[in-house]
């Protein structure tokens, strides 16, 4: 355990007694009383000492309750801005260093499991429970050929929903079958043709002419994009599901949120930034020029990973180990990552990793956002399943700060 105030472990799941007591504003004796009453979990830490760790989640939950009593309006507002949890979910855990899907390290899953298995895990908790893609009844909506990917995908999903008799069946087993059909529609929109009986990653690999280690990386990218707790698109998906909308509506809404430049659209911005830097004669000057214009260096830094996004670390390592390290594009993206980190102190995140992989694999323009959307749709369907099961409508209240109406 680190000492109090360590920025590196600001999101670690366990705290020292001193950290926990300071966070709660109580004495250690009071902290121990909370433990004895079952309000804060405690466990022995590794090492020779007999020190114990205290659950950060429990401590934060207690602190949140105190804040709500003292300033309920402020506490509620902060919870919607990288704040404390506002909804329960058993899908993803972010502990400040790693990302887990239902207790399994997402990086390990990306290396060892298929997209179907990970979707099964997110949707049902097991690796093989849902109906396999090849046995699900396929839909073949009219292919939308005009406009950007998000618009095409939304149009095709709307058409598919209109012809799917099971679209509004929100029972868990039915949603998993519908989920496979939705993912296939998204792949069809991505490659501009019906994907036949190929798996998601295989259909992309064939259409984009990627094989061997590159095809493995595409599979891994989809898995690493699958879920990331209550990001804006997943929260949007849950809100739509809470209204009783179909899984198609959930994914259409999720796509709308994802394409925003402050969310998944940042991968498209990172893609464009890499193109700009590739054309520059001096990388360092290009970075300074971008900063001087007030433009963001997209694809770097993440509030939930102060020590670096593990998904990006894995993708960059994957590219290097796959033998792409000798390519000009691999050397270029590595140089960009090092130069931006040296200039800002920020490390690459998933958006940069998607853009970097796309350049090294020579994927078509727009591929980073397509991969992000295809992978994240798995998570949206998982969140819809959780929300359908609660039967609850997500309906927060707004704090009115406008003109006070005249007294009648």
Catalytic residue positions? 302, 351
The CA distance from 26 to 380, in Å, is 40
CA 9 to chain centre: 21
The CA distance from 183 to 225, in Å, is 14
Backbone angles phi, psi at 92, to 5 degrees: -120, 145
Cβ atoms 327, 360 nearer than 8 A: yes
> Measured on CA atoms in the order 400, 388, 227, 197, is the torsion positive or negative?
negative
Name residues whose C-beta falls within 8 Å of residue 37's C-beta, 6 or more positions apart in sequence.
none
- Both tokens of 352, joined, read 């940069």
The CA distance from 403 to 357, in Å, is 51
Backbone angles phi, psi at 110, to 5 degrees: -60, -30
CA-closest candidate to residue 149, choices 407, 369, 405: 369
Cβ atoms 199, 114 nearer than 8 A: yes
């Amino acid at each position: 355990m680190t000492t109090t105030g360590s920025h590196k472990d600001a999101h670690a799941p366990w705290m020292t007694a001193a950290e926990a007591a300071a966070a709660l504003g109580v004495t250690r004796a009071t902290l121990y009383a909370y433990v004895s009453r079952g309000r804060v979990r405690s466990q022995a830490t590794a090492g020779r000492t007999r020190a114990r760790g205290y659950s950060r989640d429990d401590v934060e939950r207690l602190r949140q309750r105190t804040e709500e009593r003292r300033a309920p309006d402020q506490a509620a507002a902060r919870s919607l801005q990288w704040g404390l949890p506002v909804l329960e979910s058993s899908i993803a855990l972010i502990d400040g260093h790693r990302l887990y899907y239902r207790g399994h390290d997402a990086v390990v899953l990306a290396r060892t499991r298929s997209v179907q298995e990970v979707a099964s895990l997110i949707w049902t908790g097991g690796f093989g429970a849902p109906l396999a893609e090849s046995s699900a009844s396929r839909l073949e909506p009219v292919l939308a050929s005009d406009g950007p990917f998000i618009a095409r995908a939304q149009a095709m999903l709307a058409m598919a929903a209109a012809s799917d008799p099971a679209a509004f069946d929100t029972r868990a087993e039915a949603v998993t079958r519908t989920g496979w059909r939705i993912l296939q529609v998204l792949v069809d929109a991505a490659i501009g043709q019906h994907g036949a009986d190929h798996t998601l990653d295989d259909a992309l690999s064939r259409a984009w002419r990627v094989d061997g280690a590159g095809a493995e990386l595409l599979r891994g990218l989809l898995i690493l994009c699958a879920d990331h707790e209550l990001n804006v698109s997943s929260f949007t998906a849950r809100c739509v599901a809470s209204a009783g909308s179909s899984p198609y509506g959930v994914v259409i809404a999720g796509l709308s949120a994802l394409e925003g430049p402050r969310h998944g659209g940042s991968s498209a911005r990172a893609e464009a930034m890499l193109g700009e830097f590739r054309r520059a004669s001096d990388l360092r000057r290009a970075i300074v020029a971008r900063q001087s214009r007030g433009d963001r260096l997209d694809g770097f830094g993440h509030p939930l990973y102060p020590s670096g996004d593990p998904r990006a670390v894995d993708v960059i390592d994957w590219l290097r180990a796959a033998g792409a390290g000798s390519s000009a594009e691999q050397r270029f993206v590595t140089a960009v990552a090092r130069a931006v980190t040296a200039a800002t102190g920020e490390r690459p995140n998933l958006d940069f990793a998607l853009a970097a992989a796309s350049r090294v694999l020579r994927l078509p323009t727009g591929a980073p956002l397509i991969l992000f959307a295809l992978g994240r749709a798995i998570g949206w369907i998982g969140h819809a399943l959780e929300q359908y099961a609660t039967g609850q409508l997500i309906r927060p209240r707004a704090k009115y700060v406008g003109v006070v109406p005249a007294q009648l």
